[in-house]
Structure formats: C-alpha cells, structure tokens
Structure 1
Amino acid sequence: MDVGFGLIEAGSVRTKNTTHILVKNILDSFAAGIAYWLFGFALAFGKGNGFVGWTNWALAGLDDSKIAFAVYQIMFASTATTIVAGAVSERCEFIAYLIYSFILTGCIYPVVTHWGWAYDGWLFRGHTFYIDGQAVKVKYEDFGGSSMVHLVGGTSAFVATLFLGPRLGRFQKETGNVIYIKGHSVALCTIGIFVLLFGFMALNAGAQHHISHPGDASVISLAVFNTLVAASVGGFTSLFSHRFGLFGNSWSIHGVINGAFVSMVAICGGCNSMRPWSAAIVGFVASFLMKAFEYLLLKLRIDDPVNAVGSK
C-alpha cells in the first residue's frame, strides 16, 4: 500500500519534491514497525477497558500464533500514516513529519482501532436495545478499515493541512482564486493506482484473518470482487462526469485515479457482506462525494495536493 500511495503522491507534486515524498513513505513503514511493535499493539489489542488496552507491550506475552495478525495490523497502521504524506506535500519539515508518524502509528491509530476491532472495545461490544420485548444488539462493523484506517488518516491529514496552510502560490492573495499547480508525472500516478488496487484487494481479503474455516473462501472472494467493482464504477463515474460537463469538459486521468481510489476506500467497511450491485452504488456515490469535498476544501482555501482529505 505504501508503494502505491508513494507513487501517486510523488507524481502529484513538482519534481523538486519527489525525493522528499518517497523518503517520507519509506520511513512511514519503518516508523510503523517500531512504534506499533513497542506501543501500538498493546494499546489496540491488549487487555484493558472499552477505551484502550494495556498489556502485551512490545508483544511481550503474545502467543506466537498471533504474530501474523500483528504484522497485518502494522500494515494498516502504516497505511493510515502515509495518507498524510500527500496532504502535507511541499510544506512540512522532515523532522516534524517523522515525529507525527511515530505518534499516529504508536498512539492515535491503535486507540481508535481498540474501540472498533478489539473484543472489549466500546464500539465492538455495541449496545443492546429492547424493542417490543425483543433484544436487538447494535454493534459497529468495519471489515476492511474504511473508518478505522482511512478516516483516521483522512482526519489527521485535514488537521495537518489546517495547521500548515496552503503552499506558496496556491491561492491568489487578493481574490483567493485557485492557482493550479500541476504534478510532474501522470505515469507515476497511473502506476500507483494499479498498485493500490491490488493492495486494497489483498488487505480486504486479509481482513478475514484465516482461510481454513468453513465459509472463508466465499467471504474472501466476495471482498475482493466488491473492491474491484467499486473501483471500476467509481473510476468510470469520475471519468464521464469530468468529460460531459459536470466537473469539466475533458477526459481526466486524475479524475479516474481519484474516483477509483475513493471508491476502494468507501467499500472497505462492508466489502465482505455487500452484494456486487451494492458495491457499484458505493463506488458511484463515493466519486461524487469526493468531488464535493474537493470543491469545499478549495472554497475554504485548504490546500490538499493529492485530495487525501476528500478521498477519505
């Protein structure tokens, strides 16, 4: 996933910032490996209360059979962190970003995932309502991390862009009009979305956590297929909406990339249970919502070079 994000982000900025972007994405993975090993897993999945866990620091006392699960969660933590790299492109000090990366992967992301994915998390436990004498339990479900991963990353990106402000020359000082800053490589962005497509399918398949139980094959295949359907519909929807007057009057490769990307993010939460026609609707709606958020951010003079906030 970090490779796909890195390619899209590198292609969306000016040439002089390419190395800076790629280094940040590399270190995101390394920071996640260290911070999540030392603190993150304990806060996320250690025994505790409904808010946070506090056992298995540095994986101490963790059964070896759960190590693979910890590795999988490190990948999620790294993904949540690297989302911000694109949003703060061209205007964030390297040391500041590195500190943020450790904090998000070691503290913020683990606490949020404890709420929704740990057995004693307050969202995971849910709440029981009684309707006409019948007990109805309502609980939070997020199979592939639409909120647990991507909303955390998108919210962090939004806060970061607010604090940093726009890039120099992004908005006219007198009128506030948007000045388009062109990325240097469509090719990198295109390769990046293909890498992300396979990355999303792999992560959503892996969210089942096992492959030998009855019904696993059906769940995994449905999750992968729904991811592909949502990305395809979202990409086409964004493409034609740019061509036929809704968002412009020309074919847009960036429209295809962003539409497919936001659709994959949106489908993660329910990709294991939705029918393919539902995944198509999710992709269709998500592509329009992304564009609405993109326009809103520009109206508020918030600079997000890769639309990391709008796509989450």
Structure 2
Amino acid sequence: MDTFYLLFAASLVFLMQAGFALLAAGSIRMKSVKNILLKSVMDACAGGIIWYLFGFGVAFHQGEGGNGFIGTSGFNYALSGVDDTSGASYGAEWAFFFFQYAFAAAAATITSGAVAERCTLTGYLAYVMLIVGLLYPVVVHWVWDPNGFLSAFNPEPPGPFKKLPGMIDFAGSGVVHLTGGVCAFMGALTIRPRLGRFVGDETLFAGQSSSLQVLGTFLLWFGWYGFNPGSTLAITPAGYARDAARAAVTTTLAAASARLPSQLGGVPMWDLAATCNSLLGGLVSITAGCSTVDVWASIVIGLVGAIVYHVASCTMRKLKIDDPLDAFAVHGACGLWGCIAVGLFCTEEYSYSPHADSTLYAKRGKVDCGIFYGGSGLLLATQIVGPIFIILWAGGLSLALFGSLRALGLLRISVEVEQKGLDSSKHGGSAYPNVDAALKSLEEWSSSAPPSPERFGKVGSKV
C-alpha cells in the first residue's frame, strides 16, 4: 500500500513537467517555442541520469556516520546499494528514488523559464548538471535527510544548530522552490534581458498563447496533489492518511484564495497571466506548511503569497531583470514566504519539530509551534535561518556558474540567432510552420504593388 501510494504520488509530480512545458510555451514568444519545449524534455531526461548517478547519493545518506552537509555513503550513488532480492521492502527504495527524482526535475525546470529565449544549450546543460547533481541535492540533505544540520528529523544537529528545533519544510517551499527560484534570479540577472526588452513596446514580449498558460497552470495545480499530500511518503502509518488528506485541502484553498489580490501592483484585475501566476504563488507558499497549519491559515498564506508574488514581479521589472515566466517571483519570493509562514501558523498539534529524541525537546517537553499559537519563537528563527543558508548556497553556486559561462561566451546565443528566433536557427523551423508561411505570404503581398479595388469588387474594396 505504501509503495503504491508513493508511486502514484510520484507520477502526479512527474506530470508537472507537462504543466511546466505548457506554461513556458505559452508565456514566451512564438519564435522560441520549440526551444523551450526541448529543454523541458531534456530536464526530465538529463535530470534523470544525473540524479541516478550523483544527485540521489548526495541528497540521502544511508546508514550510520553521516554528516550534516552532504550524503557520503555509497549506497544511493547509482543506486548501488539497493537490494530487493532479500527482505520485504516491497520496492520502497525504488519508489522513493522515483519520487525524489520527480522533485529534482521540477527544481531544474524552474530555472529554465528565467533564461528562456536567449540561453544556449551548452549553458542549459551546464546548469542542469549543477542543480540536479550538486546544488539541489545538498539542500535536500540539509532539510530532509535525518543527518542534515537543518533537519527536524535529526535528533542531534551539529554545533550551534542544537539550539534550533529543526526546519519544517514538509514538501519543499524552501528545498525545491526557493532553491530553484534563487537560481532563476541569478540566471536572469547574469544573462541580461532579451533584445529590446524594457526599451520599447512591452506588448511585443507578451506570451504567445493564453490557452497553453491556463492548461499548464491547471496541470501544475493537479500535480501539486502529489507534491504536497504525497510528501507523507506513506499512507498506512497512524496519522499519515490524515495529514495527506488535510494537505490536499490546505493546498486547494491556498491556491483558490491566491487569485483575489491579483489587481495589486498595477496589474489589471482580469489579467490572465497574472492570475495564473498568483495561483501558482499560492501553491508555492503553502507547500512548506501544508500538513502543519489549520485550514483558515492556508487561506491567509495563499492571499499573502499572491501579494508577495506581485511585489516581487514588479520589483524585477523595475530593476529591469528579464524573467519571462516570473520564475523568481513565483518560486523564489513565495518559497521564502512559505518557509516563514510555518514559523507563524504551525500548530502544536501538527508540528514535528524539534525531534522527540533531541535535547531541545527534552528541555521544552513538547514540540514547538508558530508564534500565533504560543510558540517560543525558536521555530520562527529556524524558518528564517534555514532559507538564509539556502539563498547563500544556491545564489553563490549559481552565480559562479552563470558568471563563468558568460565570461567564456557560452551562456547567451548570438544577436543574429536571437533576432531570428531559436526555433528557426537551431531547431529546423518554427513550431507553427503554417503561421510562418502565412506571414511570409502576407509580407510578400504587402511589398508588391497594391492591387486596384476593381480586382476584388465591392466587398474587396471595403476589405
């Protein structure tokens, strides 16, 4: 039952790749659709191999003697330690790998949107290798592995972290979304804006398909029911089914409520793209605390998440940092808010920090909770300190990578390729060849001598 449940949840999370692909394709211009779709496919493919060889082993240590920074056992590198021929594991190791792979692929895909329409395939492959192979799995180890120095599952954190109860990030507002969002910010900052952005008509950079944006948003929302409820990792132990079901409700209400403030920041009330991103911001915001907050709090978290998204999006535009999918605003800014929200709204009844075997638990005699529920403030401190470490780690490594690629001339495509479009230059033609043919015919027709009205008759002359 537990293995089947985790396989089902992992499949929902993997389906989010389709959501990311459609959202990205709808949010960029027509001349680069093939390119962004290819990168979405490669996220799943290249990310899978890298996660198998390195990432999974970096993220999760097996056995005794692990350290707080990185997984060092050989068990999970290339799955070399998995043995399903003895014992009764029922495939739990395979299902856990698959579930974590789907999360890693999502973290890599977040960054793709921020550098869309002007990043080389070489640069793309370089940052996928870094994110999936080292940057993201190290953060996973910190927070989700029982040996991690920020982990609520670690009974004896090292050094000064013994004084903190352990970070609650149930499904990854910080681990997945803040990490991916910070990488997206550094990528967009380093690669610089698309040609003509912020110097002319902004409508020329509008997304090419509202239909794809909406379909992508709904697929992502659907996949989030594997992302958040599935993070119980099992369904049969006492309380797990309860937590999964409650997480589904809090996830739903956070997303639904995040639509309401979409007029803030000068965005028109019925702006479709802003509405979709607000909804996604609400989903990101609830991801950390989906199993530990009351239902009413999930509505507040979603509302504030939408405001955080709009403020971050407007700030990015004012700073002239070109992020075509608002990847930082949705995932980075709202991921940070989601972590902090746990320190405010986490209930004592649902909290799991600090670890029951820790000295901090022994002193307090119970778990900690959010300050709105009488918490000591230590959980809130952890929910701030943890994201600071994530920002420094993800920001430093990604900036070093993108800066190096830019210095070597490997990050951005040439001016000629960008003007023509990546699809025609690198992928054998437009994703919409019939549209291109029609535009070409129209251009040829308009450049020729204008026909006399008599050729078309009365109706033709009116046209």
What's the TM-score once normalised by structure 2's chain length? 0.62
Q: Distance in 2 between matches of 1:137 and 1:214?
A: 27
Q: Name the CA shift for 1:293/1:127 in 2 (closer, same or farther; >3 Å).
A: farther
Answer yes or no: is the 8 Å Cα contact 1:233–1:283 preserved in 2. Answer: yes
Q: Distance in 1 between matches of 2:99 and 2:269?
A: 40
Q: Distance in 2 between matches of 1:249 and 1:110?
A: 39
Which amino acid is the alignment partner of residue 302 of structure 2? Answer: G
Match of 2:224 in 1: 200
Q: Distance in 1 between matches of 2:176 and 2:140?
A: 8
Q: Name the CA shift for 1:164/1:58 in 2 (closer, same or farther; >3 Å).
A: same
Answer yes or no: is the 8 Å Cα contact 1:115–1:123 preserved in 2. Answer: yes
Match of 1:149 in 2: 176
> Which of 14, 30, 40 matches 1:25?
40
Secondary structure of 1:62's match? coil
Answer yes or no: is the 8 Å Cα contact 2:68–2:147 preserved in 1. Answer: yes
Which amino acid is the alignment partner of residue 202 of structure 2? Answer: I
Secondary structure of 1:270's match? coil
> Which of 145, 153, 166 matches 1:118?
145
Q: Distance in 2 between matches of 1:189 and 1:249?
A: 17
Q: Distance in 1 between matches of 2:127 and 2:186?
A: 12
- The RMSD of aligned alpha carbons is 1.7
Which amino acid is the alignment partner of residue 195 of structure 2? Answer: L
Answer yes or no: is the 8 Å Cα contact 2:267–2:274 preserved in 1. Answer: no
Q: Distance in 2 between matches of 1:119 and 1:136?
A: 17
Answer yes or no: is the 8 Å Cα contact 1:202–1:224 preserved in 2. Answer: no
Q: Establish whether residue 171 from structure 1 lines up as the match of residue 198 from structure 2.
A: yes
What's the TM-score once normalised by structure 1's chain length? 0.91
Which amino acid is the alignment partner of residue 138 of structure 1? Answer: P
CA drift at 1:290: 0.7
Over the matched positions of the two proteins, sequence identity in percent amounts to: 37
Q: Distance in 1 between matches of 2:195 and 2:164?
A: 51
Q: Establish whether residue 53 from structure 1 lines up as the match of residue 71 from structure 2.
A: yes
Q: Distance in 2 between matches of 1:104 and 1:123?
A: 20
> Which of 101, 108, 120 matches 1:74?
101
Match of 1:132 in 2: none
CA drift at 1:249: 4.2
Q: Establish whether residue 15 from structure 1 lines up as the match of residue 30 from structure 2.
A: yes
Q: Establish whether residue 270 from structure 1 lines up as the match of residue 298 from structure 2.
A: no
In terms of Rg, which structure is larger?
2
Q: Distance in 2 between matches of 1:228 and 1:86?
A: 25
CA drift at 1:62: 2.8
CA drift at 1:127: 7.2
Answer yes or no: is the 8 Å Cα contact 1:230–1:264 preserved in 2. Answer: yes
Q: Name the CA shift for 1:280/1:178 in 2 (closer, same or farther; >3 Å).
A: farther
Q: Establish whether residue 62 from structure 1 lines up as the match of residue 89 from structure 2.
A: no
Match runs of 1:1-312 below 5 Å: 1-47=16-62, 48-55=66-73, 56=75, 57-64=77-84, 65-124=92-151, 125=154, 138-172=165-199, 179-180=202-203, 181-238=205-262, 241=263, 247-312=266-331
Answer yes or no: is the 8 Å Cα contact 2:172–2:287 preserved in 1. Answer: yes
Q: Distance in 2 between matches of 1:68 and 1:105?
A: 18
Which amino acid is the alignment partner of residue 33 of structure 1? Answer: G
Q: Distance in 2 between matches of 1:155 and 1:272?
A: 25
Q: Name the CA shift for 1:218/1:292 in 2 (closer, same or farther; >3 Å).
A: same
Q: Name the CA shift for 1:248/1:40 in 2 (closer, same or farther; >3 Å).
A: closer
Q: Name the CA shift for 1:170/1:53 in 2 (closer, same or farther; >3 Å).
A: same
